[in-house]
Amino acid sequence: MEQYAIKGGNPLVGEVEIGGAKNAALGILAAAIMTDDTCMVENIPDVRDTNVMLQAIESIGASVNRKDRHTCEISGRNIVDHTIDNDYIKKIRASYYLLGALLGKYKKARVSLPGGCNIGLRPIDQHIKGFKALGATVRIEHGMIVAEADSLKGAHIYLDVVSVGATINIMLAAVMAEGTTIIENAAKEPHVVDVANFLNTMGGSIKGAGTDVIRIKGVPRLHGTNYMIIPDQIEAGTFMFAAALTKGDVTVKNVIPKHLESISAKLSELGCQVEESDDAVRVVATRQLNHTHVKTLPYPGFPTDMQPQITVALGLSKGTSIVTESIFENRFKYVDELTRMGANIKVEGNTAIIDGVARYTGASISAPDLRAGAALVIAALAAEGVTVIDDINFIQRGYEDFHLKLQSLGGIIEIVDSEKELQKFRLKTG
Ligand code: UD1
């Protein structure tokens, strides 16, 4: 079983290229099958989740032609099956986008109930409410969600909670429905806007993405397009916090600084110097971090997917900080692992009370989920001694070449696959 072996203590210094946004890619790859023409999609991150999505669309007959590591030509012309049920797809949350895409195009879809990170109860009632409002029947059968309709008709849908997944899924189902659909209380995340832009370049008519009211005028058909996915806000934010924890100097390149504003603002409060340019952000940290408080919120608030990264940083700050998780109720599971590294954090419900400590020390720990796993890696890069992290497959779901990018910044991190390799790493790194 692969593990990360990490020797902490080196400040991360240099420049790092940020890849395409995983969560935008998942929506866009599902949307790409909604035309019989060919879509060329660029800047797809080469991570486990996007590869599972590509396998899933191939499994129902779509053609997926990889032009290079990050570019695919996709055609939904030969789709013969509307059922997606394999062991892989159950592991990714975004399998639900295939429901919206297949329902929107073929008016029927059968997809395994989604899995994804275990960060709390993750219902999909708002997705289902949206499909039903458009005229579909939706039922659960043998672990599958089955959605069907004779025809889909535009509707006025008010989301009870701000949901990225439901907003994107309803856009997918409504883009070719008859008439106009209005989604109120829509999610405003950059990846919602990216999926809407993609559908619009395919001939869709979606207005207002990025605000809380989205208007979708159904079109009879979509056509092929060429599209480049936006940079990954969370990958960028993770490297920015890695700079803060290791007292480093890191420039994240190929980003949209506007998407990183809530992250940059918190890093400034922590005492880091943050410099923005057109498509890059530089974070310089020279001294012990300040404490602060933070509450996760839908965009443009501080992202829940950055909550573990800011918590590990606050664990090394001066004073007491409070982190409130308002999106997912079970997102502090990594705190036990961080405690093994010397952190002083008390979790009460959806709140973590953090008393900063002067240092972390290396330990043997496990990645409980994708973002928490990445946060533990950056904690380990700042820790004294060697940390060994298990279950790194979670991290590989969403970060391309994570260890290589960290190595290029001076981080001492390797993938080891046996006790012997780990011993070699310990000897080499002293
Ligand atoms: C997406 C992201 C995930 C991110 C999250 C919040 C993908 C593949 N995943 O997840 O990385 O952490 O947005 O930014 O893009 N909810 C309901 N009913 C629903 C749907 C959601 O009650 O039908 C609740 C959820 O339990 C959660 C909140 O709404 O408390 C937000 O969830 P949502 O935005 O839907 O998250 P995901 O789309 O699953």
**Predicted local distance difference test score (pLDDT) of residue 121:** 55
Same-domain check for residues 52 and 160: yes
How far is the centre of ligand 1, averaged over its atoms, from the C-alpha of 410 (Å)? 35
Query: Please, which residues have CB within 8 angstroms of residue 295's CB and are 6 or more apart in sequence?
Result: 301, 302, 323, 324, 325, 326
**Predicted local distance difference test score (pLDDT) of residue 370:** 95
Same-domain check for residues 212 and 70: yes
- What CATH number does residue 131 fall under? 3.65.10.10
Same-domain check for residues 160 and 283: no
Q: Which of 228, 252, 278 is a domain's end point?
A: 228
Same-domain check for residues 73 and 194: yes
Is the shortest distance between the CB of 233 and ligand 1 below 6 Å? no
pLDDT digits (tens, 9 = 90+) for 232-284: 999 999 999 999 999 999 999 999 999 999 999 999 999 999 999 999 999 99
Same-domain check for residues 134 and 204: yes
Protein residue whose Cα sits closest to atom 32 of ligand 1: 163
Is the shortest distance between the CB of 328 and ligand 1 below 6 Å? yes
Neighbours of 411 (CB within 10 A): 28
Is the shortest distance between the CB of 337 and ligand 1 below 6 Å? no
How far is the centre of ligand 1, averaged over its atoms, from the C-alpha of 40 (Å)? 27
**Predicted local distance difference test score (pLDDT) of residue 386:** 98
Tell which atom from ligand 1 comes closest to the C-alpha of 298: 14
Same-domain check for residues 29 and 175: yes
Is the shortest distance between the CB of 131 and ligand 1 below 6 Å? no
Is the shortest distance between the CB of 327 and ligand 1 below 6 Å? yes
Percent of the chain with pLDDT over 90: 91
Is the shortest distance between the CB of 125 and ligand 1 below 6 Å? yes
pLDDT at 140 > cutoff 90: no
Same-domain check for residues 208 and 313: no
Q: How many separate domains does the chain show? A: 2
pLDDT at 115 > cutoff 80: no
Give me the domain span that covers residue 276. Answer: 3-19+231-429
Determine the residue of 122, 296, 309 to mutate for testing ligand 1's pocket, defined as the one with the most ligand atoms within 8 A of the Cβ atom. 122
Q: pLDDT band at 189, cuts 50/70/90?
A: very high
Average pLDDT, the chain: 95
Tell which atom from ligand 1 comes closest to the C-alpha of 370: 11
**Predicted local distance difference test score (pLDDT) of residue 117:** 55
How far is the centre of ligand 1, averaged over its atoms, from the C-alpha of 407 (Å)? 32
Q: pLDDT band at 123, cuts 50/70/90?
A: confident
Determine the residue of 327, 329, 370 to mutate for testing ligand 1's pocket, defined as the one with the most ligand atoms within 8 A of the Cβ atom. 327
Same-domain check for residues 115 and 248: no
The answer to whether residue 117 is catalytic is yes
Q: pLDDT band at 116, cuts 50/70/90?
A: low
**Predicted local distance difference test score (pLDDT) of residue 114:** 72
pLDDT digits (tens, 9 = 90+) for 306-318: 999 999 999 999 9
Same-domain check for residues 213 and 237: no
Same-domain check for residues 258 and 179: no
pLDDT at 387 > cutoff 80: yes
* Alpha-carbon gap, residue 331 to 340, rounded angstroms: 17
Same-domain check for residues 202 and 125: yes
Q: Retrieve residue 99's tokens.
A: 């429901």
Q: pLDDT band at 142, cuts 50/70/90?
A: confident
Q: pLDDT band at 87, cuts 50/70/90?
A: confident
Q: Which of 228, 245, 264 is a domain's end point?
A: 228
Same-domain check for residues 217 and 235: no
Exactly one of 39, 72, 117, 272 is catalytic; name it.
Answer: 117
Protein residue whose Cα sits closest to atom 11 of ligand 1: 305
Tell which atom from ligand 1 comes closest to the C-alpha of 187: 34
pLDDT digits (tens, 9 = 90+) for 325-366: 999 988 999 999 999 999 999 999 999 999 999 999 999 999
Q: Which of 228, 259, 275 is a domain's end point?
A: 228
Is the shortest distance between the CB of 329 and ligand 1 below 6 Å? no
